């Protein structure tokens, strides 16, 4: 991904390099390297950037790169994208909360 595209995106969104670093789980110095020294961007960060720019990524679960890669492998083994797998986990957690609430009402 070209630095000019990233810079234009940040300007259009009124965001700074600190914000982008948090979204990609990297340091601001890493982002500075991408945008100034034209350093390569890791695959997970590239995916995050593409999602931010095209509007398909709206949350950042704050995973380390190792956790992100591990989660992608697990999702792929289940035949899902990472986003689909995370969504399924959230839905499952919400169901447990609802069931727990119902049980608490019945027992209380």
Contact indicator for 50, 43 with CB cutoff of 8 Å: no
Q: pLDDT tens digits for 51-101?
A: 888 877 655 566 667 787 888 899 999 999 888 998 899 999 999 999 999
Residues 49 and 68 in one domain: no
Q: pLDDT tens digits for 70-80?
A: 888 999 999 99
Total number of domains in the chain: 2
Instruction: Report pTM.
Output: 0.55
| Whole-number pLDDT of residue 68 | 79
In 1-108, alpha helices (H): 3-13, 17-24, 28-36, 43-54, 65-77, 82-107
Q: pLDDT tens digits for 11-33?
A: 998 999 999 998 888 999 999 99
| Whole-number pLDDT of residue 34 | 94
| Whole-number pLDDT of residue 31 | 95
Contacts of 74 (CB under 8 A, 6+ apart): 85
Containing domain of residue 82, as a range?
61-108
Which CATH number belongs to the domain containing residue 35 in this structure?
Answer: 1.10.260.40
Buried b (16+ CB within 10 A) or exposed e, 64-99: eeeebeebbeebeeeeeebeebbeeeeeeeeeeeee
Residues 54 and 2 in one domain: yes
| Whole-number pLDDT of residue 61 | 63
Residues 54 and 10 in one domain: yes
> Band of the pLDDT at 41, cuts 50, 70, 90?
very high
Residues 50 and 65 in one domain: no
Contact indicator for 48, 23 with CB cutoff of 8 Å: yes
| Whole-number pLDDT of residue 57 | 66
Residues 6 and 54 in one domain: yes
């Amino acid at each position: 991904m070209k630095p000019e595209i990233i810079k234009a995106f940040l300007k259009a969104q009124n965001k700074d390099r600190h914000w982008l670093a948090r979204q990609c789980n990297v340091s601001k110095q890493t982002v500075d390297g991408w945008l100034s020294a034209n350093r390569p961007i890791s695959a997970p960060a590239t995916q995050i950037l593409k999602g931010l720019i095209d509007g398909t990524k709206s949350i950042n679960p704050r995973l380390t790169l190792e956790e992100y890669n591990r989660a992608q492998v697990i999702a792929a083994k289940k035949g899902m994208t990472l986003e689909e797998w995370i969504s399924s986990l959230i839905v499952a957690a919400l169901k447990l909360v609802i069931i727990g609430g119902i049980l608490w009402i019945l027992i209380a």
